[in-house]
Chain A
Amino acid sequence: MGKMTLEDLKKLREEKRRDLQMRDTENKNIQIIVGMGTSGIAAGAKQTLDAFLDELSDQNLTNVAVKQTGSLGLDHAEPTVEVIMPDMPRVIYGRVDAEVARKIVRKHIIGKALLNGHIFDRPAADIVQGKSGKTEA
């Protein structure tokens, strides 16, 4: 790149900012947690993860952190994804392929409505010790 003007600088900043925002965990109040256990990966959790990142960047959402975790315990419904955000119940979605992932971003995160047909309960309270087991849903 050659000498920059003020405009060039602003443009470059906008361009590069998105990359860094993905890294920043502050100011992110929404979390998407993808279950990346062996069964999750086998069922395509990687593609799901890619789809989330893609869609978030398409929709220009910067306050969402996409995290990975181990199995959420719902192996019959892999890939599974937990979505945590203000004003919405904590929800675990199952059978989330790339297409459903995009829907979750559009409907749940932007539209603030639950996505039918993919909500799965959390594991029963007596299995998860120390947690209330409440789904709040």
Chain B
Amino acid sequence: MAFKQYILVCGGTGCESSNSGNLFKNLIREAEEAGVREDVQIVKTGCFGFCERGPIAKVLPDEAFYVDVKPEDAQEIISEHVVKGRAVERLLYKESESKEHARIDEISFYQKQFRVVLRNCGFINPESIDEYIARDGYAALGKVLSEMKPEDVIEELKAAGLRGRGGAGFPTWMKWNFTRQVESDVRYIVCNADEGDPGAYMDRSVLEGDPHTVLEAMTIAGYTIGAAQGYIYIRAEYPLAIERLKLAIAQAKEYGLLGEKILGSDFSFDIEIRLGAGAFVCGEETALLASIEGERGMPKPRPPFPSVKGLWGKPTVINNVETWANIPVIISRGSEWFARIGTETSKGTKVFALTGKINNSGLIEVPMGTSLRDIVYNIGGGIANGKKFKAVQTGGPSGGVITSDFLDTPIDYEHLQELGSIMGSGGMIVMDEDDCIVDVAKYYLGFTVDESCGKCAPCRVGGRKLYNILDRISRGQGSMEDIERIQTIGFSMQRASLCGLGQTAPNPVLSSYKYFQDEYLAHINEKRCPAGSCKELVTYHILPDKCIGCTLCARRCPVNAITGERKQTHVIDQDSCIKCGECYEVCKFSAVVRA
């Protein structure tokens, strides 16, 4: 007997941490108690992307989209929805107070999205190879092994126009072709799953939600370039992704889709997992390879590129998780289909982790060429708390900011570069008027300074110098010479650093200065932080004519810096004030002002 209904529970890290695991268990228990275990299949899936409102549960085929579901809600979902066929109104997602409950395809978060990479995430059970196979999984591998020569695969990728999703956008077919043509007895395939940008979790979600797609793609690459061994380099801080990858590898081996003589052909391929310790620099390919070899994760000068001299000195193809996830689809649906998505130079889609001051933070996938406005306002639902949009930071610590003037720019590799930012791996952090641009630049630089491996001087010394300058400016001690120094040091780092980490580390500073010069100058000349976030430059005062003496601020102040009798004007003692802004936030009478 077939199942009548399906409950898909999100098992991504975001939802797991808000207790979707117990929700899943409770649903199964309740279904058993209600005697409907045979009628409803309860599946734990990968990330749905709508992490803002997790844990998420979807009931199909009714297309009910439940958000913020707690483990206790399991009983109601089973007894009302499954047994009686009535959706649990209070858990349904509502786009706004005035709107009706939305069906999944009516939610604007999903409407503008187009899912290629995330095609299976949130739909299949990532721990079941059968479900992956049912969704055309391993069909591309079958096609490649039975009908295609290695050259055909390269041609197909070339026609598709797929470019690396790790950041730089190097054409994938070219990388594979170089590696294939280098004379060597052994070649290697490597998957770069060392995702390290703050706030980015695209790769993690693919690995957690659809691990087999990466295995299939790597095997296809192995056949194409003549490699028999692949490695997945993943950071140890992604335990769920690692667990699912291990399971997927075991399942694929059992089915003969990995290992000796795959699918009855003469081709053999194996994949092993290598755990990284979470150093940002190990996302850089030469450092990553060094780390797999058991060396300290430090970059080497390129050339030679890994395609010539990679892992253990052998030609190596190294691609990012998202790039891999595109490959099976391109092979099975054809390059023509794929090349129709996106723009002239950037084909296909891009996954972004949308975070920051936005209403719907989460994981999204859009065709290349989608405008930032669509992403921020339609998919993201606009800026949280009705604040004003300030800028979007893309590309993490290697990227830059994009201001409201460029909201309509189509997003692809070329356009982002023109604006002084980069695609990067896909982190997208939205800032509002309360975010100070100097502070943001300082944050990113602090990150790269911490993560610099210290091998080359431009990055090791330059990064620290830049950070110190920003720190001075944010404390109101900067001078105009500092601006010049930023330019000189930044320029030298870009030119002289050994690897991408140092070369791109000044980007957040240089690009934010380009677009927010006024804000930097206000810090330097007027000793003022326009966004009111740099603590040293901000003071809080209570306006005597507005204060009614409700004592709320005094009670909230963590350092007891506010004094005053009930129904009398309160006063902030500037010496003990730590400028946390708590009084400013809680005052209901706008009596606390920030200057």
Contact = CB atoms under 8 A, between A and B. Distances in A.
Interface stretch (A61-69, A83-91, A93-101, A102-110): A61-69
Contacts of A68: 4-5, 62, 85
A70 B131 contact: no
Which of B4, B63, B255, B263 gathers most chain A CB within 10 Å? Answer: B4
A67 B146 CA distance: 41
B86 A13 contact: no
Interface residues of A, number: 37
Given A65-B61, A69-B85, 9 more contacts: A4-B256, A6-B145, A9-B139, A13-B134, A20-B124, A23-B6, A53-B2, A68-B4, A68-B85
Which of A2, A9, A22, A37 has the most chain B CB atoms inside 10 A of its CB?
A: A9
Contacts of B85: 34-37, 68-70
Interface string B100-135: 000010000000000000000001100000110111
A1 B256 CA distance: 9
B257 interface: yes
Interface of B: 1-6, 8, 41, 60-63, 84-86, 104, 123-124, 130-131, 133-139, 142, 145-146, 254-257, 261, 263-264
B61 A22 contact: yes
A50 interface: yes
B62 A67 contact: yes
A17 interface: yes
Contact of A66 (B61, B137, B138, B261): B61
Contact of B2 (A22, A65, A69, A70): A22
Contacts of B4: 49-50, 53, 66, 68
27 contacts: A2-B254, A2-B256, A4-B264, A5-B264, A16-B134, A18-B2, A19-B131, A20-B134, A20-B135, A22-B2, A22-B6, A22-B61, A23-B60, A23-B61, A25-B60, A36-B84, A36-B85, A37-B84, A53-B2, A54-B1, A54-B2, A57-B2, A65-B61, A66-B4, A69-B86, A70-B85, A70-B86
B130 A3 contact: no
B82 to A, nearest CB: 9
Interface string A11-48: 01100111110111100100000111110010000000
Nearest to B264: A5
A5 B134 contact: no
B256 A3 contact: yes
A1 B251 CA distance: 10
Contacts of A6: 142, 145-146, 263-264
B61 A25 contact: yes
A41 B36 CA distance: 14
A66 B60 CA distance: 10
B6 A5 contact: no
B139 to A, nearest CB: 7
Closest 10 CB pairs of A and B: A3-B256, A68-B85, A36-B85, A16-B134, A5-B264, A65-B61, A20-B134, A17-B134, A23-B6, A16-B130
A25 B8 CA distance: 13
A38 to B, nearest CB: 7
B63 A38 contact: no
Which of B104, B134, B138, B142 has most A Cβ within 10 Å?
Answer: B134
The CB with the most chain A CB atoms within 10 A, among B1, B61, B139, is that of B61
A49 B264 CA distance: 43
Contacts of A49: 4
A73 B146 CA distance: 57
Nearest to B131: A20
B133 A12 contact: yes
A78 to B, nearest CB: 13
Given A1-B254, A68-B62, A22 B145 contact: no
Contacts of A10: 142
A12 B8 CA distance: 23
Contacts of A16: 130-131, 133-134
A4 B136 CA distance: 15
Contacts of A28: 61
A15 B340 CA distance: 32
A67 B2 CA distance: 14
A50 B84 CA distance: 15
A100 B522 CA distance: 78
A74 B429 CA distance: 53
B84 A70 contact: yes
Contacts of B261: 3
A13 B136 contact: yes
A50 B39 CA distance: 9
Contacts of B254: 1-2
Nearest to A53: B2
A22 B62 CA distance: 11
Contacts of A19: 2-3, 131, 134
Contacts of A66: 4, 61
Contacts of B255: 1, 3-4, 9
Given A20-B131, A20-B135, A67 B86 contact: no
B133 A22 contact: no
B43 to A, nearest CB: 8
